[in-house]
Chain A
Amino acid sequence: MQLIRRTLLAAACAAAFVAPAFAQNVVKIAGLYELSGPGTTSGTNFKDGVQLAIKEINAAGGILGRKIDATVADTQSNPGVAKGLASKAIDDDVFAVFGPVFSGSVMVSMNETRRAEIPNFVGGEAAAITKQGNPYVFRTSFTQETAMPKVARYIANGLKAKNVAVMYVNNDFGKGGRDAITKALADVGVKVVADISTDSGQIDFSAPVLKAKQANADALFVYTNEEESARALRELRKQGYDKPLVGETTLTGQKVIELAGDAANGATAHVGLTIDAPNERMLAFKAKFYKEYNYFCDHNGIKGYTGVYLLKAAIEKVGKFDRKAVASALHGLSVKAATHPGVILDVSIDDKGDLDRESYLVEAKNGRQIVKEVLPALGKK
Chain B
Amino acid sequence: MSDFLLLVFSGIATGSIYALAALGFTLLWQASGTINFAQGEFVMLPAFTMLAFMSFGAPLLLSFALTCVVAVVVLGWAFKRGIADPLLRFGLMPIVVATIGLSIAASNGVRAGYSAEAYPFPTLFARRLFDVFGVTVSLADITTLAFAGALVLGTQAFLARTVTGRAMQAVAQNTESATVLGINVPRMVFYTFAINAVLACAAALLVTPTYLAKFDMGGSLGTKAFFAAIIGGFNNSRGALLGGVIVGIGENLAAAYVSPAYKDAVALILFMAVILFKPQGLLGRKVERKV
Contact = CB atoms under 8 A, between A and B. Distances in A.
A210 B7 contact: yes
A202 B260 contact: yes
What is the predominant secondary structure among interface residues of chain A facing chain B? helix
Contacts, number: 84
Contact of A208 (B120, B260, B261): B260
A197 interface: yes
Nearest to B264: A199
Nearest to A76: B116
Contact of B129 (A231, A240, A259, A263): A240
A204 B14 contact: yes
Given A238-B127, A239-B138, A206 B7 contact: yes
B127 A36 contact: no
Interface residues of B, number: 33
A33 to B, nearest CB: 11
B140 interface: yes
B96 interface: no
Contacts of A41: 117-118
A182 to B, nearest CB: 19
A175 to B, nearest CB: 13
Contact of A230 (B127, B138, B212): B212
B116 A40 contact: yes
Given A211-B256, A214-B3, A227 B10 contact: no
A261 interface: yes
B138 A197 contact: no
Contact of B136 (A207, A239, A255): A239
B41 interface: no
A40 B118 contact: yes
B263 A227 contact: no
A199 B263 CA distance: 9
A234 interface: yes
Contacts of A197: 259-261
Contacts of B6: 206, 210
Interface in A184-239: 197-199, 202-204, 206-208, 210-211, 214, 227, 230-231, 234-235, 237-239
B274 to A, nearest CB: 22
Nearest to A170: B261
Interface in B68-120: 111, 115-120
A258 interface: yes
B212 A206 contact: no
Contacts of B120: 230, 258-261
A203 B211 contact: yes
Contact of B127 (A206, A237, A255): A237
Interface of A: 35-36, 40-41, 44, 170, 197-199, 202-204, 206-208, 210-211, 214, 227, 230-231, 234-235, 237-240, 255, 258-261, 263
